[in-house]
A = this chain, B = another copy of it.
Amino acid sequence: MITSISQSPLYPIANPKTIAFFGASNNFSAMGSSILNSILSEGFEGTIYPVHPREKRVLNLTAYSDVKDIPEAADLAFIVLPTKIVAQTLKACGEKGIRHAVIVSAGFNEVGGEGVERQKELQEIARHYNIRFTGPNCIGVVNSHLKLNATFLPAEGKTGFIGMASQSGSFITQMFSYLNSRFGQGFSTGFSLGNEANIDMVDCIEYLGACPDTRVIALYIESIRQGQKFIEIARRVSTQKPIVAFYAGGSETGKRACLSHTGSLAGPDRLYDGVFKQSGIIRAQSIEELFDFCYALGSSPLPRGNRVIIQTHSGGPGAAAADACERSGLELPQLSSETLEKLTPFIPHTGSANNPIDLTYTKNPLDFFHGIPKVLLEEKGADGMLIYFLATVEMVHQILTAMGVPEAEIDTQMEMIVDSQCQSIISLIKTHEKPVIGFSFLTRNNRFIATLQDKGVPVMASPERAARAFGAMAEYRRLREKIVQQEDQP
């Protein structure tokens, strides 16, 4: 296994300094132009050599009519050309000394018939010239830390800690805005794999495992091609950082859809369950869950076990979370008498010190963010917490407005309140090294939620999703320990 990303065939693909670009023109609606446009808009700092048979300049860059005329053997060839001229282009790149490529063009294995032959031809050329490539039928690559967005959609997002390898390009390009709008997160690096004619998912897992910007690995899988190697590598990487996978081919209908999409042959659900468990991979049941789990795993310390305390001031969301906890393999322990004693001053007579701890309508809202979670995090019989966040900020706003406080002053006060509440939670997490997963029906449009997330408290979109994310963290810890134990045996 590699110890540094520079040893990976994906290194020049995710970290190119020079790119030979095929398929961009001054026809702005062409796919190739869109991708080049994305790269330029994002502020990529490397050098790009557009290659175009007729145009002298492409998107304001000097264009070359032939790859052999570009001033150097670029780190990477990026190919977005009509199917029938892809092979000859790859060959020309090989002649030029280019050793890495991304082939976006489609019309290969996934269409069957002649496409299968065409894909074999690409593989032959690559073998001959020692070229490593992703695709064909992929969407590109992103490395947000290098400001490289080589996909056709603008990257409406930020750098982040989720490394992604996907057998569907959509989950790279279209998830920037998703991760940003839900979590204020982004990808560290994202690979779209397409038909995996050369580089495959195993290479990506290895790369992302070694990538210092990646805290957690997300996989979108339609089929695994090299089962043994996949398990071997994933099993090693998952002892270092968590891997979460979504598998789309488990049902008969899903299998058929995957076949038309990337020409891959999916296997039965149960087989994949086994492969994931053996590899230490957490399986997500939906795309939302894939990113929920990654977000929680990348944000929080791992729980030592599966005992959770739920803190709420709303009985319903508390009960829904409790119900979901059991369904996610978690336990809600009763509090120790020591904790109960410390908690008493905070609990109104209408509240409940059973777990969920339901504060109902607390007199001092600040207790919810400091005094109470502090006591609960100190409880030795629990491994972490779920906290429900509601629109307290809006309530305070409404109260201050009713009191006739001027709007500008309210704004300043709100900012102070939000900051101090968030800061308080953060310090508690740091001190106690236990995971605290928030949940709320509010979105990042709410300042409080955005601030919490931006400061590092994962806030999930519902009680069930918070419970499942906590369950995934506990499961990852168990799987990892099991693998480490097995490996330690002689």
Q: Which residues of A contact B (CB under 8 A)?
A: 28-29, 31, 33-34, 37-38, 41, 59, 83, 106-107, 110-111, 137, 152-154, 156, 166-171, 174-175, 177-178, 181, 220, 222, 246, 248-254, 256-258, 260-262, 285-288, 310, 314-320, 322-327, 331-332, 349-350, 352, 354, 356, 358, 360-361, 390-391, 394-395, 397-403, 441-443, 445-446, 461-465
Could you say which of A317, A323, A360 has the most chain B C-beta atoms within 10 Å of its C-beta? A323
A316 partner residues in chain B, CB cutoff 8 A:
166-171, 220, 222, 248, 261
Closest residue on chain B to residue A405 by CB atoms = B28
Report whether A34 and B395 are in contact in the complex, using a CB–CB cutoff of 8 Å.
yes
In the A-B complex, the 4 residue pairs with the smallest Cβ-Cβ separation, listed nearest first, are A168-B316, A254-B323, A261-B315, A170-B314
Closest residue on chain B to residue A394 by CB atoms = B154
Report whether B286 and A350 are in contact in the complex, using a CB–CB cutoff of 8 Å.
no
> Complex: how many Å from CA A445 to CA B445?
9
> Complex: how many Å from CA A193 to CA B196?
56
* Known A33-B402, A398-B38, A441-B177: A170·B28 in contact at CB below 8 Å: no
* Known A320-B246, A320-B248: A349·B111 in contact at CB below 8 Å: yes
> Complex: how many Å from CA A443 to CA B177?
9
A310 partner residues in chain B, CB cutoff 8 A:
257
> Complex: how many Å from CA A314 to CA B173?
10
Residue of B111, B181, B248 near A323 (CB, 8 A) is B248
> Complex: how many Å from CA A391 to CA B157?
14
Q: List 22 A-B contacts (CB under 8 A).
A: A28-B399, A83-B349, A83-B350, A106-B350, A168-B315, A168-B316, A169-B316, A170-B314, A170-B315, A248-B320, A251-B322, A253-B323, A254-B320, A257-B315, A260-B315, A260-B354, A260-B356, A261-B315, A262-B315, A286-B463, A287-B463, A443-B443
Report whether A445 and B181 are in contact in the complex, using a CB–CB cutoff of 8 Å.
yes
Report whether A177 and B254 are in contact in the complex, using a CB–CB cutoff of 8 Å.
no
A261 partner residues in chain B, CB cutoff 8 A:
315-316, 318-319, 352, 358
Report whether A319 and B249 are in contact in the complex, using a CB–CB cutoff of 8 Å.
yes
> Complex: how many Å from CA A222 to CA B258?
41
Closest residue on chain B to residue A107 by CB atoms = B350
Report whether A326 and B254 are in contact in the complex, using a CB–CB cutoff of 8 Å.
yes
Closest residue on chain B to residue A334 by CB atoms = B256
A83 partner residues in chain B, CB cutoff 8 A:
349-350
- Number of copies of this kind of chain in the complex: 2
A220 partner residues in chain B, CB cutoff 8 A:
316
Closest residue on chain B to residue A168 by CB atoms = B316
Closest residue on chain B to residue A38 by CB atoms = B398
* Known A170-B317, A314-B170: A356·B177 in contact at CB below 8 Å: no
Report whether B394 and A153 are in contact in the complex, using a CB–CB cutoff of 8 Å.
yes
> Complex: how many Å from CA A186 to CA B20?
52
> Complex: how many Å from CA A315 to CA B446?
33
* Known A175-B441, A257-B322, A323-B254: A317·B398 in contact at CB below 8 Å: no
* Known A153-B391, A391-B177: A257·B402 in contact at CB below 8 Å: no
A255 to chain B, nearest CB (A): 8
A104 to chain B, nearest CB (A): 10
> Complex: how many Å from CA A444 to CA B262?
31
Report whether B181 and A443 are in contact in the complex, using a CB–CB cutoff of 8 Å.
yes
> Complex: how many Å from CA A41 to CA B323?
36
A174 partner residues in chain B, CB cutoff 8 A:
314, 317, 390-391, 441
Could you say which of A262, A319, A465 has the most chain B C-beta atoms within 10 Å of its C-beta? A319
> Complex: how many Å from CA A351 to CA B399?
57
* Known A111-B349, A260-B358, A441-B175: A253·B325 in contact at CB below 8 Å: yes
A350 partner residues in chain B, CB cutoff 8 A:
83, 106-107, 110-111, 137
* Known A107-B350, A441-B178: A37·B398 in contact at CB below 8 Å: yes
* Known A170-B317, A222-B319, A323-B251: A398·B41 in contact at CB below 8 Å: yes
Report whether A260 and B352 are in contact in the complex, using a CB–CB cutoff of 8 Å.
yes
Closest residue on chain B to residue A171 by CB atoms = B316
A270 to chain B, nearest CB (A): 14
Report whether B168 and A356 are in contact in the complex, using a CB–CB cutoff of 8 Å.
no
A160 to chain B, nearest CB (A): 16
